[in-house]
Amino acid sequence: MNIKKVLIANRGEVAARIIRTLKEMGVASVAVFSEPDRHSLHVRMADEAVGLEGTTSRETYLDVEKILAAARKTKAQAIHPGYGFLAENPEFAERLEEEGIVFIGPKPEAIRKMGHKTTARQLMTEAGVPVIPGTLEPVRTLEEVQRLAEKTGYPLLIKAKAGGGGKGMRIAEGMNDLASAFRSAASEALQAFGDGDVYLEKLVSKPRHIEIQVIADTFGNTFHLLERECSMQRRHQKVIEETPSVVLDDTMRERMGEMAVRAAKAVGYEGAGTIECLVDENRNFYFLEMNTRLQVEHPITEAILGVDLVRMQVAIARGERLSLDQPNIKGKGHAIECRIYAEDPDNGFLPSPGLIRSFRVPGGPFVRLDSGVFEGAKVPIYYDPIIAKLIVWDETRPLAIKRMVRALGELKIRGIRSNVSFLLDVIQSKAFQTGDYDTRFLDTHWPELKEESEKELPPEDVILATAATVRFRQEQIQRGLGQRRAAGAQASFWRYTPWKALR
Partner 1 sequence: MGYIVRLNALKQRLEVEKPGLGLARVLVRFEDGRTIELDAHRVEPNCFSVIVGTRVYEFDCDIQNGDIELHFGNEPLIVSVLDEREALLQQAKEGAAAQGGEVTVTAPMPGKVVAVLVAKGEKVEKGQGLAVIEAMKMENELKSPIEGVVLKIFAQEGQALEGKAPLITIGQATALP
Helix extents (H) in 377-459: 397-410, 420-427, 430-434, 441-452
**What does residue 242 show for φ and ψ, rounded to 5 degrees?**
-145, 160
Contact by Cβ (8 Å): 371, 16: yes
The least distance separating partner 1 from the CB of residue 435, rounded to whole angstroms, comes to 24
Asked if residue 454 binds partner 1 (CB under 8 A), the reply is no
| Shortest distance, position 331 Cβ to partner 1, whole Å | 30
SS3 273: strand
Task: Read off the amino acid at residue 416.
Answer: I
Provide, rounded to whole angstroms, the least separation between the CB of residue 398 and partner 1: 22
Contact between 406 and partner 1 per CB under 8 A: no
Among 98, 451, 454, 460, the residue binding partner 1 under the rule CB under 8 A is 460
Residue 358 in the binding site for partner 1 (CB under 8 A): yes
The only residue of 4, 147, 255, 471 in contact with partner 1, by rule CB under 8 A: 471
Minimum distance between the CB of residue 429 and partner 1, rounded to whole angstroms? 16
- Of the residues 293, 368, 397, 417, only one is catalytic, namely 293
For partner 1, the closer of residues 374 and 499 by Cβ is 499
List the one residue from 165, 194, 325, 455 that touches partner 1 (CB under 8 A).
455
Q: Cβ 470 to partner 1, closest distance in Å?
A: 5
Residue 237 or residue 284: which is nearer to partner 1 going by CB? 237
Number of residues that bind partner 1 (CB under 8 A): 52
Other Cβ atoms closer than 10 A to 319: 13
Question: Taking a C-beta distance cutoff of 8 angstroms, is the pair 357, 265 a contact?
Answer: no
Tell whether the torsion through CA atoms of 480, 481, 485 and 487 is positive or negative: positive
Is 351 one of the binding residues for partner 1 (CB under 8 A)? Answer: yes
Helices (H), 210-320: 250-266, 298-305, 309-317
C-alpha dist (Å) from residue 43 to 39, 350, 385, 401? 7, 27, 18, 34
How big is the chain by its Cα radius of gyration, in Å? Answer: 25
H helices of 26-174, in order, are 41-45, 64-74, 90-99, 108-115, 117-126, 142-152
According to the binding rule CB under 8 A, does residue 464 interact with partner 1?
Answer: yes
Nearer of residues 179 and 464 to partner 1, judged by Cβ:
464
**293 counts as catalytic:** yes
Q: Given the rule CB under 8 A, which residues bind partner 1?
A: 342-343, 346-348, 350-354, 357-358, 381-385, 408-409, 412, 414-415, 418, 420-421, 424, 455-458, 460-473, 475, 495-499, 501-502
